[in-house]
């Protein structure tokens, strides 16, 4: 076989695929994408609290210290990808460089333009989420060789770069003059949003949530509406209603227990809100199951 000189070895991403019903860990790692199935995992990173489940994934920066907690009656499946330094940036360089530049410097591996990612959860219903689900399913079936995995990971990085550009556009739509102010406000409002997502089943207060975001109540309310087009209270109610619907369909808990388990304080208020949202009372939905 003809021997072709290769560039110096470049680290490749690491895939962690495990299942556990009880697990706690604290430390730091590389740039990573966290996904979980069949349960919920709680993360704490910097000032943020993040709940990761079937419907979303979490992105954390290189070197970020974080802790995670799994406490479930059934095994929770984790599928996490850890990217080595510069891996995604190098793919980005190839996307924006001209063919002439890439011909002259095919193996530059210059990682000076490190990306600072916005650490938050993202819905699985975008392109990166779909690619993560696809890779996880193939990986679980053990049908991929190293070449196929490398191509799948390359495509994930391309979707990550697209996601980053979309987030930057969202930040730029905020009406602050200084970009640094827009970025910091975006991060803080999202910390409050993630806090609601993580602890919607707890007796949350508006003051507590704004404090988690390190914003005054008025500042948090005003900018939450700008960013999400709704109020924090409406989002909190939606989280609780969707959780109640899942429990009504997937468990045998009583309607009353479900009402209080998801954070509602009044059975009458819960039934009224649920019926208005889903055009069926909790008891009627349970009966249809």
The pTM assigned to this predicted structure is 0.89
pLDDT in tens, 94-135: 887 776 776 777 766 555 678 999 999 999 999 999 999 999
Compute the mean pLDDT over every residue in the chain, rounded to the nearest whole number. 92
Q: What is the mean pLDDT of residues 182-211?
A: 96
The per-residue pLDDT for 144 is: 86
The per-residue pLDDT for 102 is: 66
Q: What is the mean pLDDT of residues 238-248?
A: 97
pLDDT higher at 167 or 114? 167
Q: What is the 3-state secondary structure (H, E, C) of the chain?
A: CCCCCCCCCCCCCEEEEEEEEEEEEEEECCEEEEEEECCCEEEEECCEEEEECCCEEEEECCCCEEEEEEEEEEEEEEEEEEECCCHHHHHHHHHHCCHHHHHHCCCCCCCCCCCCCCCEEEECCCHHHHHHHHHHHHHHCCCCCHHHHHHHHHHHHHHHHHHHHHHHHHHHCCCCCCHHHHHHHHHHHHHHHHHHHHHCCCCCCHHHHHHHCCCCHHHHHHHHHHHHCCCHHHHHHHHHHHHHHHHHHHCCCCHHHHHHHCCCCCHHHHHHHHHHHHCCCHHHHHHHC
pLDDT-derived band at 34, boundaries 50, 70, 90: very high
Q: What is the mean pLDDT of residues 35-42?
A: 96
Name which of 16-20, 103-107, 139-143, 266-270 the model is least confident about: 103-107
């Amino acid at each position: 076989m003809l021997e072709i000189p290769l560039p110096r070895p470049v680290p490749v991403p690491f895939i962690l695929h495990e299942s556990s019903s009880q697990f706690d860990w604290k430390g730091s790692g590389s740039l990573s994408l966290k996904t979980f199935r069949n349960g919920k995992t709680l993360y704490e990173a910097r000032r943020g609290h993040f709940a990761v489940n079937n419907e979303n994934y979490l992105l954390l920066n290189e070197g970020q210290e974080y802790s995670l907690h799994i406490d479930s009656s059934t095994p929770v499946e984790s599928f996490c990808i850890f990217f080595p330094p510069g891996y995604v940036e190098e793919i980005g360089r190839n996307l924006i460089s001209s063919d002439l530049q890439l011909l002259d410097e095919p193996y530059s591996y210059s990682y000076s333009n490190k990306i600072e990612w916005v650490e938050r959860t993202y819905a699985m219903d975008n392109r990166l989420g779909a690619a993560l689900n696809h890779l996880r399913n193939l990986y679980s079936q053990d049908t991929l060789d190293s070449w196929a995995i490398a191509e799948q990971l390359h495509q994930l990085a391309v979707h990550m770069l697209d996601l980053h550009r979309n987030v930057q556009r969202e930040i730029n739509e905020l009406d602050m003059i200084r970009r640094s102010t827009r970025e910091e406000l975006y991060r803080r409002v999202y910390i409050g949003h993630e806090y609601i997502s993580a602890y919607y089943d707890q007796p949350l207060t508006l003051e507590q949530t704004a404090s988690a975001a390190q914003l005054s109540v008025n500042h948090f309310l005003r900018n939450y509406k700008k960013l999400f087009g709704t109020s924090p209270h409406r989002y909190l109610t939606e989280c609780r209603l969707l959780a109640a619907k899942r429990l009504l369909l997937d468990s045998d808990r009583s309607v009353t227990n479900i009402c209080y388990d998801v954070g509602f304080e009044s059975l009458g208020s819960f039934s009224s809100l649920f019926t208005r949202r889903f055009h069926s009372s909790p008891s009627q939905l349970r009966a249809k199951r």
